[in-house]
């Protein structure tokens, strides 16, 4: 007699036969899930949305700098990171998280002993989403207290603003710091040149120079100052750019041309040397005056050029360092975020039904095996083999203990 494969009706018959088991298991799962979700305290999520300042500022102030005799800087340099990703990372930095821990006494709120544990709990409660299309960053904080959740979300924005003010995040800020240092050095050099000129005049008396000699001296001093300024500009561009940057290559080419021109003026090469600076026709006192005047003019011109670049960098910083704009301030959430009771109970019901069906199939299979003599014999044989194997293992263990 051939056995037929079970059909869907056969399975339905089995399920209906053991319907009490299926119903009991399903109700057990539902009851446990309902008990758990009702015992778990609700968690609220407060969200705020911010718009960080734009960092890609091919600003008009950079164009103004080129008109004043300085050099503009590209707004979108090679290898620049996304500022939105940077701000999202700062929100999760240890500095910001520690300030939040201290501000809201989170070691006591989370009932932990160490600040590191409170920081980890806070970081797990953060929900930060960066919309790359709109540039808007959404900041959410999950907490059991709806009021504290809103306060913490707004405080995160405040701490982010505070940290960005302490750090030079933008290209303009870094340029401003760089030019500020160079301007201070140039000012000290100019003061030393003025003191040296004053001391020389007091020692030798004022010496009048021909207008042509003065013009040559001023040209050389101005050119040297422009070279120094161009070197500063080149150094700044290299901090942000790759070697293939066309602005970097253009600046290097301009610097080479200016150095060649200076070499011709000072008589170090070319076919048109500057006679006044290379010949010994000027008296010793006049030569000393020329040198002092050249150093002073160089220092003054360099200081003026750096001062222009410093002022433009400050203008760019005020634009790029615009305050973070809050689009939506965090409010106390009206509805809890989790646990989702209806969803949890529904999932538990589905899982319970599957578990009940599986149990009914297993019970039916066991019942059929118990009615089949051949199956009972195989089960008894399996039990004997299992018992024999267990006795052998006990004997081996006993011998091992005696040895």
Domains, the chain:
8-40+342-394 (no CATH), 44-169 (3.30.1890), 171-320 (no CATH)
Checking if the pLDDT of 1 tops 70, the result is no
Which run of H or of E encompasses 47?
strand 44-51
Residue 118: which pLDDT band, with cuts at 50, 70 and 90? very high
Best CA proximity match to 357, nearest among 17, 2, 1: 17
Checking if the pLDDT of 40 tops 60, the result is yes
Pick the more confident residue, 286 or 51: 51
Q: Which residues contact 263 (CB under 8 A, 6 or more apart)?
A: 269, 270
Predicted pLDDT of residue 106: 92
Residue 292: which pLDDT band, with cuts at 50, 70 and 90? confident
Checking if the pLDDT of 155 tops 60, the result is yes
Predicted pLDDT of residue 59: 43
Among 62-76, 100-114, 150-164, name the one with the lowest average pLDDT.
62-76
pTM score, whole prediction: 0.49
Checking if the pLDDT of 323 tops 50, the result is yes
Best CA proximity match to 128, nearest among 170, 93, 99, 166: 93
Pick the more confident residue, 180 or 92: 92
Predicted pLDDT of residue 21: 86
Which range has highest mean pLDDT (18-22, 67-71, 152-156)? 152-156
Predicted pLDDT of residue 70: 45
Predicted pLDDT of residue 232: 82
Checking if the pLDDT of 87 tops 60, the result is yes
Pick the more confident residue, 214 or 187: 187
Pick the more confident residue, 380 or 179: 179
Contact 57, 316 (CB under 8 A): yes
Residue 272: which pLDDT band, with cuts at 50, 70 and 90? very low
Q: How far apart are CA 403 and CA 399, in angstroms?
A: 6
pLDDT tens for 11-35 read: 788 788 888 888 888 888 888 888 8
Predicted pLDDT of residue 57: 46
For the chain, the residue count is 403
Checking if the pLDDT of 67 tops 80, the result is no
Which range has highest mean pLDDT (139-148, 265-274, 278-287)? 139-148
- Residue indicated by tokens 């020692």: 203
Residue 97: which pLDDT band, with cuts at 50, 70 and 90? very high
Residue 99: which pLDDT band, with cuts at 50, 70 and 90? very high
Calculate the CA dihedral of residues 68, 70, 76, 80 and round it to 10 degrees. -140
Which range has highest mean pLDDT (78-92, 186-200, 254-268)? 186-200
Q: How far apart are CA 202 and CA 153, in angstroms?
A: 68
Checking if the pLDDT of 101 tops 80, the result is yes
Checking if the pLDDT of 379 tops 70, the result is no
- Residue indicated by tokens 């778990």: 40
Among 204-213, 218-227, 259-268, 285-294, name the one with the lowest average pLDDT.
204-213
Q: How far apart are CA 111 and CA 11, in angstroms?
A: 52
Residue 274: which pLDDT band, with cuts at 50, 70 and 90? very low
């Amino acid at each position: 007699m051939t056995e037929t494969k079970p059909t869907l009706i056969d399975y339905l018959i089995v399920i209906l036969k053991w319907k009490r088991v299926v119903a009991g298991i399903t109700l057990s799962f539902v009851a446990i899930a309902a008990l758990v979700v009702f015992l778990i305290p609700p968690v609220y999520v407060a969200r705020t949305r911010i718009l960080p300042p734009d960092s890609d500022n091919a600003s008009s102030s950079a164009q103004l700098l080129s008109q004043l005799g300085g050099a503009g800087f590209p707004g979108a340099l090679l290898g620049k990171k996304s500022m939105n990703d940077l701000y999202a990372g700062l929100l999760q930095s240890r500095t910001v998280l520690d300030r939040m821990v201290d501000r809201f006494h989170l070691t006591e709120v989370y009932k932990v002993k160490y600040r590191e544990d409170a920081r980890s709990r806070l970081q797990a409660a953060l929900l930060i989403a960066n919309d790359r299309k709109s540039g808007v960053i959404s900041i959410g904080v999950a907490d059991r207290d709806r009021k504290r959740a809103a306060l913490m979300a707004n405080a995160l924005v405040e701490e982010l603003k505070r940290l960005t003010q302490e750090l030079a995040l933008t290209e303009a800020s870094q340029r401003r710091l760089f030019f500020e240092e160079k301007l201070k050095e140039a000012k000290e050099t100019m003061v030393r040149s003025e003191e040296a000129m004053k001391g020389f005049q007091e020692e030798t008396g004022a010496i009048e120079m021909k207008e042509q000699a003065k013009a040559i001296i001023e040209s050389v001093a101005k050119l040297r100052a422009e070279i120094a300024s161009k070197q500063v500009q080149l150094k700044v561009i290299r901090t942000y750019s790759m070697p293939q940057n066309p602005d970097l290559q253009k600046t290097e080419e301009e610097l080479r041309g200016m150095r060649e021109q200076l070499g011709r003026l000072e008589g170090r090469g070319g076919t048109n040397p500057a006679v006044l600076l290379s010949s010994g026709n000027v008296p010793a006192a006049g030569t000393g005056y020329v040198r002092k005047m050249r150093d002073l003019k160089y220092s003054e011109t360099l200081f003026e050029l750096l001062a222009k670049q410093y002022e433009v960098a400050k203008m760019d910083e005020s634009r790029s360092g615009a305050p973070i704009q809050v689009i939506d301030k965090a409010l106390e959430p009206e509805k809890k975020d989790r646990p989702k009771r209806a969803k949890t109970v529904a999932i538990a019901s589905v899982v319970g039904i599957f578990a009940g069906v599986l149990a009914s199939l297993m019970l039916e299979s066991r019942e059929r095996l118990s009615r089949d003599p051949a199956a009972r014999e195989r089960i008894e044989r399996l039990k004997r083999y299992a018992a024999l194997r267990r006795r052998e293992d006990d004997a081996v263990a006993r011998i091992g203990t005696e040895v």
